[in-house]
C-alpha cells in the first residue's frame, strides 16, 4: 500500500475572521435572521438584511448602525434579487456569505392542500434561495465565500400536516451537497443548518409570534427537545457563524436543534 504525504503550512488558518466579513441575510427582519444579524454585527461583520416588511428591516438596521444595510425585497421577484445583491455588494465591498433564511411556512393535510399555496411555498423557500445564490455567485467566487441554506428538524422528525414545509426543506438539504460539489472547484463552500424549535421572549414582545396558535405549539414542543426547551435565535446564529468562518467545511448539514430530532422526550 502506498501512502501519500501531504505538506502542510502550519501557519494556515481554517477559520475566517468575522471582522469586516460581508454577509447577506434574507428573512433578516425577524427571528433567526434578525438574531443572526445582531450576532454577526457584534462580531465585526458588515451585514445586509432584507425582508418584505420595511418596518422590521429598517428598525433592525437603525438598531445595529452603520454596519447594517437594509433592503425591502422579496426573494421570489427577480428584480428584487438583483437589488439585494447590488446593495450588499456596495455596502460590504463584495459578498462573502449568503445566508438564505427567508422562508414561508405552509401547513396542510395532504388531502386538502391548496395548490397555489403549495407552489408559493416552494417558490419562496427553494426557488428564491437557489436563484439568489446564482445571482450572488460572481461575488462569492471572487471572495471564495460561502452559501448557507436552512434545512429543518422536519426532515428528521415527522410532524403531521407539515409535509409542504418539510418537502421544501428536504429539497434544500439535497441541493446543499450537489452545489458543494459543483462550486467547490470555484472556491465556494455550500452548507446547511438544521434548527430545532426556536423561541425568544424578545421576539415575542416584538410581535414575531402574531399567530397565537403557532406560539402555543412551540411552547408545547419544548419538552420534546432532549435539552428540555426550544432554542434561541442567538444559538442558531452561533452555528451560522461557524459555517461562515470554517474554511474546510462544505456540503455539511449542521444540526442545531437541542436534540429535537432525536425523537426523545422529557415530557
Q: Which residues are catalytic?
A: 165
> How far apart (Å, rounded) are the C-alpha atoms in residues 3 and 26?
46
Which three-class secondary structure state does DSSP give residue 122?
helix
| 248, β-bridge pairs | none
What whole-number distance in Å separates Cα of residue 75 and Cα of residue 85?
11
Helix (H, G, I), strand (E, B) or coil at 202: helix
Cβ–Cβ under 8 Å, residues 238 and 38: no
User: C-alpha cell of 164?
Assistant: 409542504
Q: How far apart are CA 150 and CA 254, in angstroms?
A: 10
How many other β-carbons are positioned within 10 Å of the β-carbon of residue 180? 20
Amino acid at each position: 500500500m502506498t501512502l501519500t504525504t501531504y505538506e502542510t503550512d502550519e501557519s494556515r488558518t481554517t477559520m475566517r475572521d468575522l471582522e469586516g466579513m460581508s454577509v447577506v441575510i434574507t428573512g433578516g427582519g425577524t427571528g433567526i435572521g434578525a438574531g443572526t444579524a445582531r450576532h454577526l454585527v457584534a462580531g465585526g461583520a458588515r451585514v445586509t438584511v432584507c425582508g418584505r416588511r420595511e418596518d422590521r428591516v429598517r428598525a433592525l438596521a437603525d438598531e445595529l448602525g452603520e454596519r447594517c444595510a437594509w433592503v425591502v425585497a422579496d426573494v421570489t421577484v427577480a428584480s428584487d434579487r438583483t437589488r439585494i445583491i447590488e446593495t450588499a455588494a456596495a455596502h460590504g465591498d463584495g459578498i462573502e456569505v449568503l445566508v438564505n433564511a427567508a422562508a414561508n411556512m405552509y401547513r396542510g393535510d395532504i388531502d386538502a392542500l391548496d395548490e397555489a399555496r403549495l407552489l408559493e411555498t416552494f417558490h419562496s423557500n427553494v426557488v428564491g434561495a437557489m436563484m439568489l445564490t446564482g445571482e450572488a455567485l460572481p461575488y462569492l467566487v471572487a471572495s471564495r465565500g460561502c452559501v448557507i441554506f436552512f434545512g429543518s428538524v422536519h426532515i428528521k422528525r415527522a410532524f403531521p400536516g407539515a409535509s409542504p414545509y418539510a418537502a421544501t426543506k428536504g429539497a434544500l438539504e439535497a441541493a446543499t451537497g450537489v452545489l458543494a460539489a459543483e462550486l467547490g472547484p470555484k472556491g465556494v463552500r455550500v452548507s446547511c443548518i438544521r434548527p430545532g424549535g426556536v423561541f425568544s421572549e424578545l421576539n415575542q414582545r416584538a410581535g414575531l409570534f402574531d399567530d397565537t396558535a403557532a406560539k402555543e405549539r412551540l411552547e408545547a414542543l419544548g419538552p420534546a427537545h432532549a435539552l428540555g426547551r426550544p432554542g434561541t435565535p442567538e444559538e442558531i446564529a452561533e452555528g451560522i457563524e461557524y459555517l461562515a468562518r470554517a474554511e474546510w467545511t462544505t456540503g455539511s448539514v449542521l444540526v442545531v436543534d437541542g436534540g429535537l430530532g432525536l425523537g426523545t422526550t422529557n415530557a
